[in-house]
C-alpha cells in the first residue's frame, strides 16, 4: 500500500505505519445531474440539522446556497447562455476539500481538528471549544460555527462509515457516479483518464481542480473535474493555506515587538529619579 505523504506532521508518522492509503473524493461534475441525492444522504446519515427555514433563493435550482455548519454537501447550479452552444447548465456537488495543507487544522488551538488515519480532516466535537479560528482560516468558506451549539462542524468524509469499510453516504447515494470515493492515487489516475477523454471529445473547458500537490493547499483529498472556471461555481481559483506565510508573519511580529521594546527604552532614556 502506498501512503501519500502529507505535509501535516500528524499524518503517516502519527499513525506509525497503521495509516492506510489516503482516501478521498473525485467529483466529476460533467456527469452530475443535480439530483441532490448527495445532500439528502449526507444530512440523513450524519444527522445534520436543518439549515434554516425552507425558502427559494431564485438562483436556478440551488436552494441550499453554500456549504456550512449544517450543509456538508452542496449542489451548485450554473446556467450559462453560450453564443454557439445555447444554454449550458452546469451542476456540481461541492464538499469539504480535506486539504493536504489544511489551514483549519493547522490554526486549531485545541487540537480538536485532526488528520485521521484515512488522511481526512475531522473535528472532534468533544474537544472543540468554539474558538472559531478555523472559520476565517478556511480558503473555501467550508467550516462554520453552529449558532445554537457553539462548536464548528463540517464534512467528516463519513469517518464512521470509513472505519466500517463502507463508502461515504453521498458517494453511495450518487446515481451517476459523479461522486467517486476511493484511494486518492487511484482517483487521480481515473480523473486524468476522464479529462483526456473529455478533451478528445472536444470539451475544451474541462479541467481538474485541486488535483495537483503543487497548489496552495498542496492538493486536496476532495478534488473536482470542472467545466468552467472555479469561481463560476463559487470556488476560489487559487486557494492558499494561510499558514504557508506564517513564518513571515511571525518575523513581522518580532520586528513589531522589537519596535515596542525600543520605544519603551527610548522613552525611558535619561529618566532616572
Partner 1 sequence: MSVPRGDGRSRARGEVVPEAEFRSYYGRPVLKQPAWTIEVPWYFAAGGLAGASATLTLGARLAGNHRLARGAGTAAAAGIIAGVPLLVSDLGRPARFLNMLRVVKPTSPMSLGSWVVAGFGPAAAGAAAADRLGVTPRLARTAEVVAGLLGLPMATYTAVLLANTAVPVWHEAGRELPLVFAGSAAASAGAAAAILTPAAAAGPARRLAVAGAALELGSAAAMERRLGELGEPYHQGAAGRYARLARVCTAAGAVTVGLAGRRRPAALAGGLALLAGSAFERLAVFRAGFQSAADPRYVVGPQRERVGR
Residues numbered 252 to 271 that lie near partner 1 (CB under 8 A) are: 252-253, 255-257, 259-261, 263-268, 271
Q: How far is the CB of 166 from partner 1 (least distance, A)?
A: 30
Give the closest residue to 122 by CA, choosing from 104, 146, 140, 135: 104
82 touches partner 1 (CB under 8 A): yes
Footprint (CB under 8 A) of partner 1, residues 86-105: 87, 103
Q: Which is nearer to partner 1, 111 or 175 (CB)?
A: 111
Q: Which residue has the cell 436556478?
A: 60
Question: If binding is defined by CB under 8 A, does position 175 make contact with partner 1?
Answer: no
169 binds partner 1 (CB under 8 A): no
107 sits near partner 1 (criterion: CB under 8 A): yes
- Rule CB under 8 A: say whether 110 interacts with partner 1: yes
CB of 2 to partner 1, least distance (A): 26
**Is 258 in contact with 250 (CB distance < 8 Å)?**
no
Site string for partner 1, 217-236 (x = CB under 8 A): ------------x-xxxxxx
> What are the beta bridge partners of residue 226?
207
State the virtual CA torsion across 154, 155, 159, 165 in degrees, nearest 10: 170
The verdict on 144 binding partner 1 (CB under 8 A) reads: yes
Residues 6+ apart with CB under 8 A from 77: 34, 59, 60, 61, 62, 89, 90, 91
How many residues line the site for partner 1 (CB under 8 A)?
A: 79
Where are any strands of DSSP class E within 133-247?
Answer: 144-145, 152-153, 179-183, 207-209, 222-226
How far apart, in whole angstroms, are the C-alpha atoms of residue 163 and residue 179?
Answer: 19
129 touches partner 1 (CB under 8 A): yes
- Counting contacts by CB under 8 A, is residue 212 touching partner 1? no
User: Is 56 among the residues that bind partner 1 (CB under 8 A)?
Assistant: no
Measured in degrees and rounded to the nearest 5, phi and psi for residue 176 equal -110, 5
Q: Does residue number 66 form part of the binding site for partner 1 (CB under 8 A)?
A: yes
Nearer to partner 1 (CB atom), residue 108 or residue 171: 108
Amino acid at each position: 500500500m502506498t501512503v501519500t505523504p502529507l505535509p501535516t506532521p500528524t499524518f503517516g508518522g502519527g499513525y506509525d505505519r497503521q495509516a492506510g492509503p489516503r482516501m478521498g473524493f473525485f467529483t466529476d461534475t460533467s456527469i452530475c445531474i443535480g439530483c441532490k441525492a448527495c445532500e439528502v444522504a449526507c444530512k440523513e446519515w450524519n444527522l445534520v440539522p436543518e439549515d434554516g427555514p425552507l425558502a427559494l433563493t431564485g438562483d436556478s435550482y440551488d436552494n441550499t446556497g453554500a456549504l456550512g455548519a449544517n450543509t456538508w454537501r452542496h449542489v451548485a447550479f450554473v446556467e450559462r447562455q453560450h453564443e454557439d452552444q445555447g444554454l449550458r447548465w452546469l451542476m456540481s456537488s461541492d464538499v469539504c476539500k480535506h486539504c493536504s495543507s489544511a489551514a483549519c487544522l493547522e490554526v486549531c488551538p485545541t487540537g480538536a481538528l485532526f488528520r485521521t488515519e484515512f488522511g481526512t480532516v475531522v473535528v472532534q466535537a468533544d474537544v472543540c471549544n468554539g474558538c472559531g479560528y478555523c472559520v476565517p482560516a478556511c480558503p473555501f468558506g467550508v467550516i462554520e460555527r453552529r449558532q445554537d451549539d457553539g462548536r464548528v462542524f463540517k464534512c467528516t468524509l463519513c469517518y464512521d462509515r470509513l472505519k466500517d469499510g463502507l463508502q461515504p453516504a453521498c458517494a453511495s447515494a450518487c446515481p451517476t457516479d459523479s461522486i467517486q470515493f476511493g484511494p486518492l492515487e487511484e482517483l487521480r489516475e481515473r480523473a486524468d483518464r476522464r479529462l483526456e477523454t473529455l478533451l478528445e471529445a472536444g470539451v475544451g473547458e474541462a479541467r481538474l481542480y485541486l488535483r495537483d500537490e503543487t497548489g496552495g493547499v498542496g492538493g486536496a483529498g476532495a478534488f473536482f473535474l470542472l467545466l468552467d472556471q472555479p469561481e463560476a461555481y463559487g470556488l476560489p481559483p487559487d486557494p492558499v493555506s494561510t499558514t504557508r506565510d506564517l513564518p513571515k508573519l511571525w518575523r513581522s511580529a518580532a520586528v513589531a515587538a522589537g519596535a515596542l521594546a525600543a520605544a519603551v527604552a527610548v522613552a525611558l532614556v535619561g529618566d532616572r529619579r
